[in-house]
Amino acid sequence: MLTLFVSFAFYSYIPFYYRITLNIYSGYNALKSIACKQYIRYLGIYIVNARQFKCRYDHATASFYRAFNAVFGKIGRSSPEEVVLQLINSKCMPCLLYTLEACPINKTQEKSLEFTINRVLMKIFRTVSLDVIRDCRLTVAWNNGHKGVSNCCQAQKGNF
């Protein structure tokens, strides 16, 4: 027999959705207490514990950098930039854009993902100027012709 009790900690400085603690009693086992987490992972998506439905994208960013370092470490600067961009577009961008069609994204998260792409392009083209990166994004067919993360999100949401 399994009994579940939900208790609330009444701290005025902690939001309501962090106050829930689950106490699980079993017929023969001692008390097990499970506190709520700030986020959970479900199917590769990190869902944040908040009042509204939110997702975290820092794990996607880390996965994108890991994939980029693997690709760029193998081919380095010996290949032309177009080849490197095509490999990044096909191998690394899915790591970054995974689940953007299903999860909401705000302006801060969108700018963070744009920054991730800009840093990779800065490394490929050996520059720190954002003007050069903007020109490169306009001239090179980056990410199937889309210019920016917001356009990629809109295109994926249209297909979803």
* 46 found inside a domain: no
* 72 found inside a domain: yes
For the segment 25-47, what is each residue's pLDDT rounded down to a tens digit? 555 555 555 556 677 788 888 88
* 48 found inside a domain: no
* 108 found inside a domain: yes
Are 68 and 101 part of one and the same domain?
yes
What's the DSSP call for residue 12?
T
Residue-number span of the structural domain to which 21 is assigned:
2-36
Are 126 and 89 part of one and the same domain?
yes
For the segment 43-65, what is each residue's pLDDT rounded down to a tens digit? 888 888 777 888 888 888 999 99
Report yes or no: 55 and 99 within 8 Å, Cβ to Cβ: yes
Dihedrals φ, ψ of 73, to 5°?
Answer: -70, -30
Are 60 and 7 part of one and the same domain?
no
Are 93 and 130 part of one and the same domain?
yes
Are 88 and 133 part of one and the same domain?
yes
pLDDT surpassing 70 at residue 6: no
- Give the per-residue pLDDT at 34: 54
Report yes or no: 50 and 17 within 8 Å, Cβ to Cβ: yes
* 41 found inside a domain: no
Are 77 and 121 part of one and the same domain?
yes
Residues 89, 96: Cα–Cα separation, whole Å: 10
Does the pTM surpass 0.85? The reply is no
Are 133 and 60 part of one and the same domain?
yes
* 120 found inside a domain: yes
**Location of structure tokens 């509204």:** 52
In terms of C-beta density within 10 A (0-12 exposed, 13-18 middle, 19 or more buried), how is residue 26 classed?
A: exposed
* 49 found inside a domain: no
Q: How far is CA 17 from the centre of its chain?
A: 23
What is the number of structural domains in the chain? Answer: 2
